[in-house]
A and B are shown apart, each in its own frame.
Chain A
Amino acid sequence: MSASPRTRVRVRARHRHNGWGYLFLAPWLVGFFLLVLGPMAASLALSFTDFNLFDPPKWIGLDNYRQAFFDDERFWNALRVTFTYVFASVPARLAFALAVAMLLNRGVRGLRVYRAVYYLPSLLGGSVAIAVLWRQLFGSDGLLNHFLSWFGADTGHSWIADPDTSLLTMIVLAAWQFGSPMIIFLAGLRQIPQELYEAAELDGAGPIARFRAVTLPLLSPLIFFNLLLQVIGAFQAFTPAYVVSNGTGGPSDSTLFYTLYLYEEGFTQFHMGYASALAWVLFAVIAVFSAIAFLSSKYWVHYADVRS
């Protein structure tokens, strides 16, 4: 080796430099490898086994997946419930978020207060308290029934405990928590140059045309971002169903969200191998939907810096 001592020192110094960088990254790296990547790899391996938490896992190949797809009514039901939830709650939430953001963007006085107030439900969103509140609102003695009784309607019906309406109450709950996409939309709306609206107005565009021709296209990157985030989040919804149905996914499995079923299989019935397989199926489902969103995005998402 003919490198001069000087270079060697410099190289070593740079390595030492990197070392410090890794050291500062360590908390995140340790968390990532120990708490994310490791368990993920383990769960993939476990998904091919029969594992009850206590006895050593037994390799059974694809049996878990076979059972889920061909021999498990509740798996299909959980998928049906979850898909219904995702496809109803995400558009509802985004529409609400956009509508409220547009209202707030019209220069209302006390914007900060409104913004905070509308954001509040999202802060409490995943919390047990809100789910408990939902029981109070939609239970047989709940506020909704009291409200309906002013109009002479029948009041004994429990909205959360009737399989026909229980999922609907969860969707309403989700739509109500529109705070975080709203904040993002609001930020996006403020980025849209006012001149574009003025130009559109000069061209004779009414409010609806302005919304379709200016707001939507310019907001589309944020709509895409929100859509992706919300779809991924909605597929993994757990707390509301767990608390509102008392951990059962009931009545009659009408709120058996996929993650709730997974939890029940894994931690109540101790079918840990099966639960791992369920988790990977969900992973695949989310991956497919994310891929669809990305692939379709070039047809409807307009980035300001890209000319189409």
Chain B
Amino acid sequence: MMKEKRKSSSPLQQGLRDGVPIGLGYFAVAFSLGIAARRAGLTAFQGFLTSALINASAGEYAGFKFIEENATYLAAAIMTLVANARYFLMSCALSQKITPDTPLRHRFLLGFYITDEFFGITIARREFDPVYTYGAVLFAAPCWAVGTALGIIAGNLLPAFLVSALSVALYGMFLAIIIPPARQNKIVGVFVLIGFALSFLASRLPLLANVSDGTKTIVLTLVISAAAAALFPVKEEADDEA
């Protein structure tokens, strides 16, 4: 992903350049997310606002599901907490990377834009420079927000076969996030499989037919993760790299 940069370009330019492939991916996935938002009854403006404020694929997707189900605000808050828990870890890791004298405004802004990709490029770069990250954000974040709004609009206009095909882009992004660590760490891989299996069971068991999808997601996530944490606690440094 990261290529050698020409020495002459500024951190902002380097960031912009690295933001282009990220932005293209975001646009495709956000479009797919917009289709889910439309199902929940959001307007294009509401979708744009959500994506501009939250910048989180799984978190927004889960939120749209909850809006669709007319869940309580508390349930939506808990689901957001669970779906976005990984950003907490990334923020912890980033707090070790940034220089101690980094002013508060940069801490707020960098935190606001922690996503898997922005975090990844910020950590991968040798010297820390928030301006580099902002360069990538400048290009890719608008792709995310505009893509969501266009997904909502186009979901109404596009033929059903295209909507069907585009709707899997979001799940492709989820897989791109969870599969590489599952390959590296067998325990993660096993619990990803257990997650697939129990989620499938929960969706098909007649006994649970009255429980909302959102509630199932929260309960399954917490139960399976707690089991993993109790049986296979991570070693001291395992969570530093997130």
Whether both chains belong to one complex is answered with no
Residues in chain B within 8 A of chain A (CB atoms): none
